[in-house]
Every structure is written in C-alpha cells, then in structure tokens.
Amino acid sequence: MQVVLITGASSGMGLETAKYLAKQNFKVYAATRNPQKLLHLQEKNIVPITLDVTSPKSVEECVAYILTQEKTIDILINNAGYGLVSSVEDCTEEEMLAQFNVNLFGVLRVCKSVIPVMREHQKGVIINISSFLGKIGLPLLTFYNASKYALEGVTDSLRYELREFNIRVHSILPGFFDTQFARDNLVVNAKVFQENFAYKYLVKDFVPMIVDQINNGNSAKEVAALVLEIIEDEYFVSRVTVGEKAKKFLPMRKELSDEDFERRVREYYSLG
C-alpha cells in the first residue's frame, strides 16, 4: 500500500484528496493543525496527524512519526495554504511574513524532511497545490500571488534537483474552488474594512466578486481525481490546470502579450 502525506487536510482540496486516495487503497496521513476535525472520518486508510507547517519541530515530528509506522513516504501533497487580502502599503510585517511562512516556506520545510526519505528509496511523487494566481496577478492579492509565483519556481527547480533520484515533482494550478478558502482562510488586513481605505473602489465590487467566484467555484473532488491521475502516470506533465477560471485565463496568459492580457483581466473584473 502506497503511503501519502497531505498537508492542510482538514477541509477543501486536502480533505477531498485524502478521502479519495484512501478509497483507492492508499494509506493517507492527513496532516492538519487540528486532528480533532478529522476524528469523524470513517475511512480506515486515513490517519489524522498533527502538523503545523510553520514549525520545523512539528514538521520533523510528523515525518518521524509516520516513519515509525511505515517504511517510507511515497507521495507528498503540499496543499496547506491561505490567502492574504491587503494592499502592499498597508500590509503589516507580520502578515507579510506569515503569508510566505505558510504558502512557501511551509512547503519547503515539509519537502526538506520528506525528500531524504524518498531519496533513500529512490522513488517519490511530490505534488504542490499552487494556484492559477501563481501565474496571474490581481490587486489586493499581491502577497498571495507572490507566494504562489514562488511556489511555481520551487516546482521547476526541484524537478531538476530530484530527477536523478526518481522523484517526480508536479504543480497543480487550480482556478477558483468551492472550499473553506474564502469562508475561513482569507486573512484580511484591518485597513481594508476602514472608511478611509485608499483602495475602497476594489472593496466595493472586485473583492466580493472574487469571494463569490471562489464560493461558487469548481468542486474539490476534481482536484482529488487529478492528484490520482498524476500519481498513476509516471509521464504526467510538470504543470496542470484544473477548474474553469484556470482553464479560461492561463491559455490566454500564454497566447497574449502582457499588455493585451492585462486589458482582458481589467475588462473581466471591471478594474478600470
């Protein structure tokens, strides 16, 4: 039975992927800051495990525990992430660092602990849950965008670094998906709610439109199915999109000039 570690597994794409892979007979370690949230799960192949990706100690303990139970970790799915909504000028030092600490350094910390295990076994698959916003910028999402753009770089570099050891690295770029993301996991800078916020014009229409598009987005089940496809196909491409918004915007991003693409996004989101 292949062993999977998924981060951020208490909701959304992480949870759906954990359940789907468990049904397909993978042994899934569903890592979350709060394993209590997973105690209701019936699937016998899911083991809830504590993990805070911002803590090196927590990451080391999580991986060490799995290795007391299993010979190896075959598949790592770096999924934990959240979105910071802030203008650049108003963002606090703490908010800025926290966004990268989870979305980027969190991934690198888990990779640091898992790669030696995969390397020893000369086998592994790492799947990074990125975003179509890892290729496209949007206002008030600069820090989230930057963290996901950086994550795309991690995937590209690691593919070269790990190929020799038979470890595949892939990036999934979802469009907007109906998960807990916009309900529980958007962190909004305090200025955004203030009357005198300089970017109020964005708060009026653009932000609600994004939240609405996320809450009415695709089903996380699609991501789970795609993860299985990647695991099963050793020739799977490095980077793949999923969901309506990613499929709409990313081909356009490739085909158009930067200026023409920006014009299309401005029109679509009425950004003036």
Ligand X SMILES: NC(=O)c1ccc[n+]([C@@H]2O[C@H](COP(=O)([O-])OP(=O)(O)OC[C@H]3O[C@@H](n4cnc5c(N)ncnc54)[C@H](OP(=O)(O)O)[C@@H]3O)[C@@H](O)[C@H]2O)c1
Of these, 80, 118, 126, 250, which contacts ligand X (CB under 6 A)? 80
- Interior angle at CA 268, CA 240 and CA 89, nearest 5: 85
- Would you say 119 and 167 are in contact if contact means Cβ atoms under 8 Å apart? yes
Among the listed ranges 3-11, 88-96, 197-205, 255-263, the one in contact with ligand X (CB under 6 A) is 3-11
Instruction: Return the number of the residue (39 or 234) whose C-beta is nearest ligand X.
Output: 39
Task: Tell me the torsion sign for CA atoms 256, 257, 263, 266.
Answer: positive
The single residue of 20, 131, 135, 144 carrying the catalytic annotation is 144
- Would you say 82 and 143 are in contact if contact means Cβ atoms under 8 Å apart? no
Of these, 177, 231, 241, 242, which contacts ligand X (CB under 6 A)? 177
Among the listed ranges 7-15, 55-63, 65-73, 161-169, the one in contact with ligand X (CB under 6 A) is 7-15
Task: Judge whether 148 counts as a catalytic residue.
Answer: yes
20 binds ligand X (CB under 6 A): no
What is the rounded CA–CA span in Å between residue 111 and residue 232? Answer: 21
Chain positions 208 to 267 lying near ligand X, rule: CB under 6 A, are 214, 217, 220
99 binds ligand X (CB under 6 A): no
Q: Which of 229, 242, 232, 124 is nearest to 179 (CA)?
A: 242
Tokens 């499929």, residue?
247
53 binds ligand X (CB under 6 A): yes
Among the listed ranges 30-38, 63-71, 190-198, 259-267, the one in contact with ligand X (CB under 6 A) is 30-38
Q: In 3-state terms, what secondary structure has residue 84?
A: strand
Q: Which of 19, 9, 12, 92 is nearest to 52 (CA)?
A: 9
Task: Tell me the torsion sign for CA atoms 4, 135, 271, 86.
Answer: positive
Q: Tell me how far, at minimum, the Cβ of 79 lies from ligand X, in Å.
A: 5
How many binding residues for ligand X (CB under 6 A)?
Answer: 30
- Taking residues 180 to 219 in sequence order and writing x for each that binds ligand X by CB under 6 A, - otherwise, the string is xx--xx----------------------------x--x--
Of these, 29, 176, 206, 249, which contacts ligand X (CB under 6 A)? 176
12 binds ligand X (CB under 6 A): yes
Of these, 21, 104, 174, 241, which contacts ligand X (CB under 6 A)? 174
DSSP structure string for 126-193: EEEE--GGGTS--TT-HHHHHHHHHHHHHHHHHHHHHHTTTEEEEEEEE--B-SSHHHHSEEE-GGGG
What is the rounded CA–CA span in Å between residue 187 and residue 27? Answer: 32
81 binds ligand X (CB under 6 A): yes
Q: Which of 179, 159, 157, 167 is nearest to 224 (CA)?
A: 179
49 binds ligand X (CB under 6 A): no
List of residues contacting ligand X (CB under 6 A): 8-14, 32-34, 53-54, 79-82, 102, 129, 131, 174, 176-177, 179-181, 184-185, 214, 217, 220
By annotation, the residues acting in catalysis are 130, 144, 148
